[in-house]
Structure 1
Amino acid sequence: MTTLDPAITAPAEAGVGGGVRAPRVKRVRRAVHGVLLLDKPLGWSSNDALQKVKWLLRAEKAGHTGTLDPLATGLLPLCFGAATKFSQVSLDADKTYRATLRLGQTTTTGDAEGEVVIDRQDRVTAVTPQALDAARSAMLGEIDQVPPMYSALKHEGKALYEYARAGVEIEREARRVSIHKLDILSWHADALEIEVCCSKGTYVRTLAQDLGEHLGCGAHLTALRRTGSGPLSVAQAVTLDALIEMDEAQREALLMPPDALLGDWPSVELADAEAGRFLSGLRRRVTLPDAPAVRVYGSAPRVLLGSAHIKAGELIPTRLLSPVEVQGLSGRQALPQPL
Structure 2
Amino acid sequence: MYNGILPIFKDRGLTSHDVVFKLRKILKTKKVGHTGTLDPEVSGVLPICIGPATKVSDYIMEMGKTYEATVSLGSTTTTEDQTGDVIEQKYILPGEITAENVDLILKQFEGVITQIPPMYSSVKINGKKLYEYARNNEEVERPERQVHVYKIKRTSELRFEDKHCQFDIIVGCGKGTYIRTLATDIGSALQFPAHMSKLTRTQSGGFDIKDSLTLNEIVELHEHESLQEKLFPIEYGLKGLPQIIISEENIKAKILNGQKFEKTMFQQNIDDMVTMVDEDTQKVIAIYEPHPEKQDEIKPKKVFN
Displacement after TM superposition at 1:207 (Å): 0.3
Q: Residues of 2 paired with 1:284 and 1:138: CA distance?
A: 44
- Aligned 1:157-168 pairs, distance under 5 A: 157-168=127-138
**Alignment gaps of 5+ in structure 2:** none
- The amino acid that maps onto 1:319 is K
Q: Residues of 1 paired with 2:124 and 2:298: CA distance?
A: 37
2:302 to 310, 315, 319: 319
Q: Residues of 1 paired with 2:282 and 2:239: CA distance?
A: 17
Structure-2 residue corresponding to 1:102: 72
Check whether the contact 1:90–1:261 (CA below 8 A) recurs between aligned residues: yes
- Do residues 81 (structure 1) and 51 (structure 2) align? yes
Q: Residues of 2 paired with 1:306 and 1:59: CA distance?
A: 25
- Aligned 1:220-299 pairs, distance under 5 A: 220-248=195-223, 249-264=225-240, 265-284=242-261, 286-291=265-270, 292-298=272-278
Displacement after TM superposition at 1:156 (Å): 2.7
Structure-2 residue corresponding to 1:205: 180
Displacement after TM superposition at 1:65 (Å): 0.9
Q: Residues of 1 paired with 2:99 and 2:266: CA distance?
A: 55
Task: Give secondary structure in 2 for the equivalent of 1:250.
Answer: coil
Displacement after TM superposition at 1:75 (Å): 1.2
Check whether the contact 1:288–1:313 (CA below 8 A) recurs between aligned residues: no
Q: Closer, same or farther in 2 for the Cα pair 1:141/1:304, shift >3 Å?
A: closer
Check whether the contact 1:57–1:252 (CA below 8 A) recurs between aligned residues: no
Task: Give secondary structure in 2 for the equivalent of 1:144.
Answer: strand
**For the aligned residues, what is the CA RMSD?**
2.1
Q: Residues of 1 paired with 2:94 and 2:137: CA distance?
A: 30
Check whether the contact 2:277–2:285 (CA below 8 A) recurs between aligned residues: yes
TM-score (norm 1): 0.80
Check whether the contact 1:290–1:309 (CA below 8 A) recurs between aligned residues: no
Q: Residues of 1 paired with 2:27 and 2:149: CA distance?
A: 36
- Do residues 49 (structure 1) and 19 (structure 2) align? yes
- Aligned 1:4-153 pairs, distance under 5 A: 31-122=1-92, 125-153=95-123
Displacement after TM superposition at 1:244 (Å): 2.4
Structure-2 residue corresponding to 1:19: none
Check whether the contact 1:38–1:240 (CA below 8 A) recurs between aligned residues: yes
Displacement after TM superposition at 1:274 (Å): 2.4
Deviation string 1:193-234 (CA, Å, 9 cap, x unpaired) is: 100011211100000001111112221111111111242222
Moved more, 187-196 or 55-64: 55-64
Displacement after TM superposition at 1:309 (Å): 4.1
- Do residues 306 (structure 1) and 279 (structure 2) align? no
Q: Closer, same or farther in 2 for the Cα pair 1:141/1:229, shift >3 Å?
A: same
Structure-2 residue corresponding to 1:335: none
Structure-2 residue corresponding to 1:22: none
Q: Residues of 2 paired with 1:124 and 1:58: CA distance?
A: 55
Structure-2 residue corresponding to 1:11: none
Check whether the contact 1:290–1:313 (CA below 8 A) recurs between aligned residues: no
Structure-2 residue corresponding to 1:179: 149
- Larger Rg: 1 or 2? 1
Q: Closer, same or farther in 2 for the Cα pair 1:125/1:233, shift >3 Å?
A: same
Deviation string 1:135-159 (CA, Å, 9 cap, x unpaired) is: 1122122211111000001123221
Percent identity between the two aligned chains: 34
**Alignment gaps of 5+ in structure 1:** 1-30, 324-339
Task: Give secondary structure in 1 for the equivalent of 2:245.
Answer: strand
Displacement after TM superposition at 1:313 (Å): 8.2
- Do residues 188 (structure 1) and 140 (structure 2) align? no
Displacement after TM superposition at 1:255 (Å): 1.0
Deviation string 1:176-203 (CA, Å, 9 cap, x unpaired) is: 1121111000132222110001121110
Task: Give secondary structure in 2 for the equivalent of 1:289.
Answer: coil
TM-score (norm 2): 0.88
Equivalent residue pairs, number:
292
- The amino acid that maps onto 1:121 is Y
Deviation string 1:120-142 (CA, Å, 9 cap, x unpaired) is: 12356401122112211221222
Q: Closer, same or farther in 2 for the Cα pair 1:298/1:129, shift >3 Å?
A: closer
Q: Closer, same or farther in 2 for the Cα pair 1:204/1:182, shift >3 Å?
A: same
Q: Relative contact order (alpha carbons < 8 A, sep ≥ 6): 1 or 2 greater?
A: 2
- The amino acid that maps onto 2:252 is A
